[in-house]
């Protein structure tokens, strides 16, 4: 028997529309699941139980009156970097521990417009800076498949909550792989849209030219449903693209027959790539070939410079964006300082964790007089080369397939003293952010230890339909997405 919290969006919507279940019952089942499991998984920073049940009652009333939308009555959760009016939004940081936004993010409004039920806000690496969700100021989120392991990051709470059936879907943000990497580690589907496809209004900024909001779901169809709800032009975001929004749900059935899948040999020959991951992803590509796709070799010659370029550009933008947290306007303020500069130092030292401080210092240094040309300008030039590499590759293929991460999820604390090892875990994902292209992670197998492994598919700008179609075809031909972690209640 399927428990209500195990339902996908499509299954739940069908049962709700036929009035075989109520949104209140579904939401209560999810809230009970959170109460039972989250003390172990620690995916949530805030649970909005009372408000969620009120929204569920409104959804049931809408269904009774025939006034439904695409997500009516569906329990979802948001990464705690997305503003929610009247609900605490911390970014996983002490400096915003008590911040309550006076407005909703664009995506929050969109979900409300579709009558979704928000059950809470999800844990993350502080200001989205990290790949493990160990860098939250409040708690360490654990991987539902093995609670001794990381869930990935920075959207680790978003992925873990979906994997553990503590919401039917979630939103995360992806600056260098922060949706796709935790999706891979937690065995769920995660989609990073094209830069500009989804408004960043109300997304607390880490690196403004890289950040993008996207969905995590139990299936590719669930991610398509969530993207349908949040995609579109927003005049309040100058980087939001005025592109029409296609029907992502209709695209799911297109299949992959004749699709050209690019294989970058360099991605499968990296010295840090775990052989289990390489073999699993190769088998996934073979499945796509069996479904009618053809593979072609493509070159991405500047990918090796991507990590270095990213860890100049992102910290530079973080240094600028995080300058606003000075203890003056909002957020934490050190009350024991008598001088202004002393107050700045004390506030930021108390409010920011070690990883955020490291990146702010790196970015400030790279932007300082005498170093700007050597670091930021050079990294921006490399970024242009990476964009050109992808443009040339997509002249030969329709999609690119690669691993998501070089290894399965690692034990908690494994990289505590080695930030470079954590940075290298993004080696296959961050180039998509530098180029602004969309990418998806779909479950494609398991390690010998039973940890999930994801297949990454990348597309050219605004080709989310093609990504979703290929990922859905693979998903329907395999059973990996049906497997569930076993958690003790």
So where are the chain's domains? 4-249
Q: What is the pLDDT of residue 418?
A: 84
Q: Tell me what the mean pLDDT of segment 316-324 comes to.
A: 97
pTM of the model: 0.97
What is the Cα 396 distance to its own chain's centre? 28
pLDDT in tens, 212-254: 999 999 999 999 999 999 999 999 999 999 999 999 999 999 9
How sure is the predictor about 151, in pLDDT bands with cuts at 50, 70 and 90? very high
Q: Burial, 335: exposed, middle or buried (Cβ in 10 Å; 0-12, 13-18, 19+)?
A: exposed
Residues paired with 174 in a beta bridge: 212
pLDDT at residue 416, as a whole number: 82
Indicate the pLDDT class of residue 32, thresholds 50, 70 and 90.
very high
Q: Which residues pair with 79 in a beta bridge?
A: 122
Residue from 224, 246, 234 nearest 71 by CA: 224
Strands 169-174 and 75-79: parallel
Beta bridge partners of 439: 192, 458
Among the listed residues 136, 154, 173, 319, the single catalytic one is 154
pLDDT value at residue 1 = 58
Mean pLDDT for 65-88 is 98
Whole-number pLDDT of residue 488: 56
Cα 480 to Cα 192, 219, 441, distances in angstroms: 21, 10, 13
- Look up tokens 């506030």; give the residue: 347
Angle, in degrees to the nearest 10, between helices 9-17 and 49-64: 50
Q: Is 158 a catalytic residue?
A: no
For 112-143, what is each residue's pLDDT tens digit? Answer: 999 999 999 999 999 999 999 999 999 999 99
Residues 6 or more apart in contact with residue 42 via CB below 8 angstroms: 123, 139, 140, 141, 142, 157
Place of tokens 């090892």: 421
The catalytic position among 93, 136, 158, 178 is 178
List the one residue out of 355, 322, 328 whose CA is nearest residue 343: 328
pLDDT above 90 covers a percentage of the chain that reads 94
Supply the pLDDT for residue 421. 84
Give the contacts of 221 (CB within 8 A, at least 6 positions apart): 8, 9, 10, 249, 252, 472
Catalytic annotation present for 79: yes
Q: How far is CA 298 from CA 19, 264, 401, in A?
A: 50, 5, 10
| 91-100, 149-158, 178-187, 410-419: the lowest-pLDDT one | 410-419
329 labelled catalytic? no
pLDDT at 489 over 80: no
CB atoms within 10 A of CB 266: 13
Alpha-carbon separation of residue 343 from 127, 265, 334, 349 (angstroms): 21, 52, 6, 10
Q: For domain 4-249, which CATH number applies: 3.40.50.700, 3.40.50.620, 3.40.800.20, 3.90.1300.10?
A: 3.90.1300.10
Pick the catalytic residue from 22, 23, 79, 158: 79
How confident is the model at residue 107, as a pLDDT?
98
Q: Please, which pLDDT band fits residue 64 given cuts at 50, 70 and 90?
A: very high
- Average pLDDT score over residue span 443-465: 98
pLDDT value of residue 239: 97
91-108 mean pLDDT: 98
């Amino acid at each position: 028997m399927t428990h209500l919290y195990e339902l996908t969006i499509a299954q739940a919507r069908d049962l709700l529309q036929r009035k075989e279940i109520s949104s209140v019952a579904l939401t209560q089942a999810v809230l009970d699941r959170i109460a039972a499991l989250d003390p172990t998984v620690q995916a949530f920073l805030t649970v909005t139980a009372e408000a969620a049940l009120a929204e569920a009652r409104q959804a049931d009333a809408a269904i009774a009156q025939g006034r439904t939308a695409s997500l009516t009555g569906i329990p979802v959760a948001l990464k705690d970097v997305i503003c929610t009016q009247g609900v605490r939004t911390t970014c996983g940081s002490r400096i915003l521990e008590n911040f309550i936004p006076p407005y909703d993010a664009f995506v929050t409004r969109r979900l409300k417009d579709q009558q979704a039920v928000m059950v809470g806000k999800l844990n993350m690496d502080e200001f989205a800076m990290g790949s493990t969700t160990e860098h939250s100021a409040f708690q360490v989120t654990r991987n539902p498949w093995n609670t001794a392991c990381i869930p990935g990051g920075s959207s680790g709470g978003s992925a873990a909550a979906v994997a553990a059936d503590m919401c039917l879907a979630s939103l995360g943000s992806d600056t260098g792989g922060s949706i796709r990497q935790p999706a891979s580690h937690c065995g769920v589907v995660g989609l990073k849209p094209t830069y500009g496809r989804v408004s960043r209004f109300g997304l607390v900024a880490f690196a403004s030219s890289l950040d993008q909001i996207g969905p995590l779901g139990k299936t590719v169809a669930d991610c398509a449903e969530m993207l349908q709800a949040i995609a579109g032009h927003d005049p309040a975001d100058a980087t939001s693209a005025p592109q029409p929004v296609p029907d992502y749900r209709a695209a799911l059935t297109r299949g992959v027959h004749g699709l050209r899948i690019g294989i970058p040999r360099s991605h499968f020959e990296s010295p840090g790539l775990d052989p289990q991951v390489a073999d699993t992803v190769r088998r996934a590509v073979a499945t796509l070939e069996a479904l009618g796709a053809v593979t072609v070799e493509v070159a991405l010659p500047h990918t090796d410079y991507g990590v270095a370029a990213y860890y100049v550009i992102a910290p530079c933008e973080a240094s600028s964006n995080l300058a606003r947290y000075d203890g003056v306007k909002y957020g934490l303020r050190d009350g024991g300082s008598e001088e202004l500069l002393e107050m700045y130092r004390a506030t930021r030292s108390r409010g920011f964790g070690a990883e955020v401080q490291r990146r702010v210092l790196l970015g400030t240094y790279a932007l300082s007089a005498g170093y700007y040309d050597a670091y930021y300008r050079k990294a921006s030039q490399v970024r242009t080369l990476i964009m050109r590499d992808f443009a040339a590759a997509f002249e030969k293929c329709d999609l690119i397939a690669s691993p998501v991460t070089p290894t399965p999820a690692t034990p908690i604390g494994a990289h505590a003293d080695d930030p470079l090892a954590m940075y290298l875990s993004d080696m296959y994902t961050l180039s998509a952010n530098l180029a602004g292209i969309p990418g998806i992670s779909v479950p494609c197998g398991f390690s010998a230890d039973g940890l999930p492994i994801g297949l990454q598919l990348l597309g050219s700008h605004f080709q989310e339909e093609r990504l979703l179609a290929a990922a859905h075809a693979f998903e329907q031909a395999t059973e990996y997405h049906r497997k569930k972690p076993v958690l003790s209640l």
